[in-house]
C-alpha cells in the first residue's frame, strides 16, 4: 500500500530524514519509535503533505501512485489520514461541519453519493459512542477549548468517520491518561482490518500494550536503524535507545 | 507636470451644481447647507480624513438627482412622518451635501416606555437605471425606557452607478435601548457615503452593527456621543472588500460625562485588490472620569494586492479612565488551513471556511437569528460555490 524508498527530507537547509525506506502493506500495523529529534514527526508530516518539508531524494508511492504529487486534500481523499500530535483549535468552524465537509469530499472522490443530514448524524453519533464523546462536542468549534485528551479523542473520531485506508498516528498517546488511552486505542483497533494499515509514531511502549503492532521500527538520526516485531518495543522500554545507537555506530 | 483636474471642475461637482440648480424651490435650510457645502468643498486626496477612501473614483462620474424613498416597516405604535430638514451646521462635506439636497427628513419616533418586539425595517433599493445621486435624512428618536431594533438595509438591484448619501441622526432618551443594524450591500458600481450621529443619554444603550459588504466605494462615519452617566455604546462592524472595492469606516466615540462605557469590535477582510480602512477615534473629555472604552480592530489580508489601513486614535483628557485599543492585520492561519485540507476539504473551501469563521465573530453579535442567517448567506455568497452552507 505504502512504499517509501530512500527518502531524504529537508526542513529549510537542514536534512532531517536521511534515507528512509519502509514498506507498509494492507492489514499491517507498524510502530515507529525513536528518541526525540529523530525525525518521527517529520515522517508523518511529509506523508500528510504539510508545507515546509522538502523531499530532496527518494520516492513515496501509495497504491502504486506517486503520493508526493498530491495536495493534502488529495491525499485525504485517496485514503490517507494523519492524527496530529497537536490538533489545531479552529474557533468558528464547528466540528460537525468539518466532519461532514471532509466525509462528503472523500465520498465524492470515491464516486459515492454524499450522505444526507440524517445518515450523516447517525454515523457520527455511532462513532461518538465508540469514542465516549458527548454529543455537545459536535456544535462546538473544532477543538475549541478541548482538553488535551479530548483533542486526541476527536482526532480518532474524525478517523473513524472518514475511514481512511492508511491511518498515521503522530504521538497520539502523548498526554493521555490511562482511561483516555484505552478509549483511543479502542477506536484505532475498531478500524483495523485486512484493507487498512496503521502507522503509529510513538515514544513509548505503553500505546503498544493496547494496539499490538506487527512491526516495530526504530528511527534515529533520520534513518531507520532497526526493525523487528513487538518484542523490539519491549526491549527498547527496558534498555532505552542508546544500545541501538551504539550498535549502529559499531556497524 | 499635469495637475489633477480641480475638484471644482470635476464631473461630480458639475453634476451636483446642475442638480441643485434644478431644485424647484429649495428651502432656506437647503440654501444654507449648499453654501456650507461649497465652503467646505469636496475632500481632496490630501485630506487626512479621506486619504484612503479613493474618492477620485466618484469625482470622475456624474449623477442626476433622484429621491430613493425607503420602504419602512414598523410596529403601529411607532410614528413615522416627514418633517422639514431645518438648519444644521456641519463641517463634513457630504453631510452638508445631504442637507442641501434633501428638503425633508424621515422622523421615526418611538414613544416613551415602548418595548417594540418586531424590528423597524428601513429598506433602500436602488432600482433606477440612470446614474443617480440619492440623498436621505433619517431622524430616529427613542423615548425614555423604550427599546427597539432597527434594520437599515441598502441594496442595489441593477448595474447602473448610484451615489447614495445619507445622514441618520439618532437620539436615545434616558434608559432607552437601540440595536441598530446597518447592512450595506449595494451593487458593486454604487458608492455609499453615510454619516450616523448618535446621542446617548443617561443609562441608555446603543448597539450598532455595521456590515459594509457591497458598493464600489463605501464610507461610513459613525459618531457617538455618550452624554449621560452609565450610557453605553457598542459598535460592531464587518467590512469585506474584494474586487476593487474600498470599505472605509470612521468611528468616533465621545465620552462627555463620567462613568460611561464603550466597546468597539471591527473586523476587516480584504481580498483580491480590495481595500479596508478603519479609523477609530475615542475622545475622553476632561470630566469623563471612570470611563471604560475598549476598541479592537482585527483584519485579514487575503491577497498580496489587497490593502488594509487601520488606525486607532485615542484622545484622553481625564484621569482615572480605562481605555484600551488593539489593531492587528494578519493572514489565514496556515496550520488551521493544513488541518482542514488534511481532512479532505479543498484549499479554496478551507480558505473560505476560515474567512467565514473570522466574519462569524461579528455576525454572531446580531440580535436576530434571521439576520445572522441573512448575513452568513451574504458572506458565503462572496465565495461563490466553494463552500456548501453549514447546517
Chain A closest CA to B319's CA: distance in Å? 37
Cβ distance of A73 and B360 shorter than 8 Å: no
Q: Taking residues B352-377, what's their average pLDDT? A: 93
How is the beta sheet containing A215-220 ordered, strand by strand? Answer: A80-83, A166-170, A197-202, A29-33, A215-220, A223-228
Of all residues in chain B, the percent with pLDDT exceeding 70 is 97
For the cut 80, the answer to whether the pLDDT of residue B90 exceeds it is yes
Query: Taking CB atoms and an 8 Å limit, are A71 and B347 in contact across chains?
Result: yes
Q: A22 vs A136, which has greater pLDDT?
A: A22
> What residues of chain A lie within 8 A of the CB of B391, using their CB?
96-97, 100, 117
Q: What's the pLDDT score for residue B384? A: 62
- Which 3 state secondary structure label does DSSP give A240? coil
Q: For position A251, what pLDDT does the model report?
A: 55
Report yes or no: B389 at the A interface, CB cutoff 8 Å: no
- Nearest-CA distance A71 → chain B (Å): 8
Output B348 or B4, whichever has higher pLDDT. Answer: B348
B285 has pLDDT over 60: yes
B133 min Cα distance to partner chain A (Å): 39
Q: Does A137 touch chain B (CB under 8 A)?
A: no
**Cβ contact B349–A101 (<8 Å):** yes
Confidence (pLDDT) at B389: 41
The reported pLDDT for the residue numbered A101 is 92
Decide if pLDDT at B8 tops 90: no
Instruction: Answer whether B356 sits within 8 Å of A92, measured CB to CB.
Output: yes
Q: What is the mean pLDDT of residues B326-338?
A: 95
Judge: A92–B334 Cβ closer than 8 Å, yes or no: no
Confidence of residue B390 (pLDDT cuts 50, 70, 90): very low
Per residue in B136-161, pLDDT (tens digit) is 999 999 999 999 999 999 988 777 88
What is the structure's pLDDT at B141? 98
Instruction: Give the one of A88, A94, A102 whose C-beta lies nearest to B345's C-beta.
Output: A102
Q: What ipTM was reported for this prediction?
A: 0.94
The residues in A 74-113 lying below 8 A from B, measured between CB atoms, are: 75-77, 81-82, 84, 87-88, 90-94, 96-103, 105-106, 109
Exposed, middle or buried, B147 (CB in 10 Å: 0-12/13-18/19+)?
middle
Partners of B331 on chain A (C-beta within 8 Å) are none
Q: Which residue is closest to B346 within chain A, CA to CA? A: A73
Section A151-157 average pLDDT: 92
Q: Is B71 on the interface with A (CB under 8 A)?
A: no
Question: Residue B386: what pLDDT?
Answer: 47
Summarised one tens digit per residue, pLDDT across range A37-96 is 888 889 999 999 999 999 999 999 999 999 999 999 999 999 999 999 899 999 889 899
pLDDT, average across residues B273-289? 96
Is residue B283 over pLDDT 90?
Answer: yes
Q: Can you give the pLDDT at residue B1?
A: 42
Is the minimum CB–CB distance between A50 and chain B shorter than 8 Å?
Answer: yes
With a pLDDT cut of 70, the percent of chain A lying above it is 98
Burial class (CB in 10 A: 0-12, 13-18, 19+), A161: buried
Do the Cβ atoms of A73 and B388 come within 8 Å?
Answer: no
Q: How far is B365 from chain A (nearest CA, A)?
A: 13
Of A154-163, A230-239, B9-18, B195-204, give the lowest mean pLDDT range: A230-239
Of A71, A91, A117, the CB nearest to B341: A71
* Residue in the structure block whose three cell numbers are 469606516: B249
B360 at interface of A, judged by CB pairs closer than 8 A: yes
**Interchain contact A71–B (C-beta under 8 A):** yes
CB pairs under 8 A between A and B: 87
pLDDT, tens digit (0-9, with 9 covering 90-100), for B351-362: 999 999 999 999
CB contact under 8 A, B345 and A109: no
Task: Give pLDDT, residue A250.
Answer: 59
Query: Which whole number is the average pLDDT over A228-235?
Result: 86
- Which has the closest alpha carbon to B37: B25, B63, B19? B19
Per-residue pLDDT tens digits for B177-234: 999 999 999 998 999 999 999 999 999 999 999 999 999 999 999 999 999 999 999 9
Residue A193 in this model has a pLDDT that exceeds 80: yes
Which residue of A93, A118, A141, A161 to mutate against B (max B Cβ within 10 Å)?
A: A93
Interchain proximity A101–B354, CB inside 8 Å: no
> Given pLDDT bands bounded at 50, 70 and 90, which one contains residue B391?
very low
Q: Is A165 on the interface with B (CB under 8 A)?
A: no
Contact A76 B342 (CB under 8 A): yes
Query: Which residue from B minimizes the CA distance to A76?
Result: B344
Residues 222-251 of B with CB under 8 A from A: none
Minimum distance, in Å, between the CA of residue A228 and any CA atom of chain B: 30
pLDDT band at B5 (very low <50, low <70, confident <90, very high): low
Q: B294 pairs with which residues across the strands? A: B263, B324
Indicate the DSSP class of residue A140. Answer: S
Average pLDDT of chain B? Answer: 92
Check if B331 contacts A (Cβ < 8 Å): no
Q: Which residue of A has its CA nearest to B344?
A: A73
Amino acid at each position: 500500500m505504502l512504499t517509501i524508498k530512500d527518502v531524504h527530507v529537508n526542513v529549510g537547509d537542514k536534512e532531517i530524514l536521511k534515507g528512509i525506506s519502509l514498506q507498509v502493506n494492507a492489514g499491517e500495523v507498524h510502530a515507529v519509535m525513536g528518541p526525540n529529534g529523530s525525525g518521527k514527526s517529520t515522517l508523518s508530516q511529509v506523508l500528510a503533505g504539510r508545507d515546509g518539508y522538502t523531499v530532496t531524494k527518494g520516492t513515496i508511492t501509495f497504491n502504486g501512485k506517486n503520493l508526493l504529487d498530491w495536495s493534502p486534500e488529495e491525499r485525504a481523499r485517496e485514503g490517507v489520514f494523519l492524527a496530529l500530535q497537536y490538533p489545531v483549535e479552529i474557533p468558528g468552524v464547528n466540528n460537525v461541519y468539518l466532519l461532514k465537509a471532509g466525509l462528503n469530499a472523500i465520498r465524492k472522490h470515491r464516486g459515492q453519493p454524499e450522505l444526507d443530514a440524517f445518515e450523516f448524524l447517525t454515523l457520527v453519533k455511532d462513532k461518538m459512542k465508540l469514542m465516549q464523546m458527548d454529543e455537545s462536542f459536535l456544535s462546538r468549534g473544532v477543538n475549541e477549548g478541548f482538553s488535551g485528551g479530548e483533542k486526541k479523542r476527536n482526532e480518532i473520531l474524525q478517523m473513524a468517520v472518514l475511514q481512511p485506508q492508511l491511518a498515521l498516528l503522530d504521538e497520539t498517546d502523548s498526554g493521555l491518561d490511562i482511561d483516555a488511552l484505552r478509549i483511543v486505542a479502542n477506536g484505532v483497533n475498531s478500524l483495523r482490518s485486512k484493507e487498512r494499515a496503521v502507522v503509529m509514531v510513538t515514544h513509548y511502549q505503553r500505546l503498544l500494550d493496547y494496539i499490538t503492532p506487527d512491526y516495530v521500527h526504530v528511527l534515529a538520526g533520520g534513518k531507520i536503524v532497526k526493525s523487528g516485531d513487538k518484542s523490539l518495543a519491549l526491549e527498547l522500554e527496558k534498555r532505552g535507545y542508546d544500545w541501538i545507537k551504539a550498535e549502529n555506530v559499531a556497524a | 507636470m499635469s495637475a489633477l483636474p480641480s475638484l471644482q471642475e470635476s464631473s461630480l461637482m458639475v453634476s451636483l451644481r446642475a442638480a441643485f440648480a434644478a431644485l424647484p424651490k429649495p428651502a432656506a435650510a437647503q440654501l444654507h447647507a449648499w453654501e456650507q457645502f461649497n465652503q467646505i468643498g469636496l475632500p481632496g486626496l490630501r485630506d487626512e480624513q479621506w486619504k484612503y477612501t479613493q474618492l477620485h473614483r466618484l469625482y470622475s462620474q456624474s449623477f442626476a438627482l433622484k429621491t430613493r424613498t425607503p420602504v419602512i416597516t414598523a410596529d403601529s405604535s411607532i410614528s413615522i412622518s416627514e418633517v422639514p430638514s431645518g438648519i444644521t451646521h456641519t463641517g463634513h462635506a457630504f453631510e452638508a451635501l445631504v442637507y442641501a439636497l434633501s428638503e425633508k427628513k424621515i422622523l421615526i419616533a418611538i414613544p416613551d416606555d415602548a418595548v417594540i418586539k418586531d424590528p423597524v425595517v428601513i429598506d433602500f433599493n436602488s432600482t433606477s437605471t440612470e446614474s443617480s445621486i440619492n440623498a436621505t435624512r433619517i431622524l430616529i428618536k427613542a423615548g425614555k425606557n423604550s427599546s427597539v431594533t432597527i434594520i437599515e438595509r441598502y441594496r442595489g438591484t441593477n448595474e447602473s452607478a448610484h451615489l447614495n448619501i445619507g445622514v441618520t441622526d439618532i437620539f436615545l432618551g434616558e434608559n432607552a435601548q437601540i440595536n441598530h443594524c446597518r447592512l450595506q450591500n449595494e451593487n458593486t458600481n454604487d458608492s455609499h457615503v453615510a454619516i450616523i450621529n448618535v446621542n446617548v443619554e443617561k443609562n441608555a444603550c446603543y448597539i450598532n452593527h455595521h456590515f459594509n459588504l457591497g458598493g464600489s466605494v463605501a464610507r461610513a462615519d459613525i459618531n457617538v456621543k455618550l452624554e449621560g452617566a452609565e450610557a453605553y455604546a457598542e459598535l460592531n462592524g464587518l467590512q469585506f472588500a474584494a474586487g476593487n472595492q474600498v470599505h472605509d469606516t470612521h468611528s468616533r466615540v465621545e465620552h462627555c460625562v463620567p462613568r460611561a462605557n464603550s466597546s468597539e469590535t471591527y473586523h476587516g477582510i480584504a481580498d483580491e485588490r480590495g481595500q479596508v480602512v478603519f479609523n477609530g477615534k475615542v475622545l475622553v473629555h476632561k470630566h469623563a472620569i471612570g470611563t471604560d472604552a475598549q476598541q479592537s480592530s482585527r483584519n485579514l489580508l487575503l491577497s498580496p494586492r489587497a490593502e488594509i489601513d487601520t488606525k486607532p486614535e485615542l484622545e484622553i483628557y481625564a484621569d482615572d479612565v480605562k481605555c484600551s485599543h488593539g489593531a492587528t492585520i494578519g493572514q489565514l492561519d496556515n496550520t488551521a488551513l493544513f488541518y482542514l485540507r488534511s481532512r479532505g476539504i479543498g484549499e479554496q473551501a478551507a480558505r473560505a471556511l476560515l474567512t467565514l469563521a473570522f466574519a462569524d465573530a461579528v455576525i454572531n453579535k446580531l440580535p436576530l437569528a434571521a439576520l445572522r442567517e441573512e448575513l452568513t448567506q451574504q458572506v458565503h455568497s462572496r465565495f461563490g460555490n466553494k463552500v456548501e452552507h453549514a447546517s
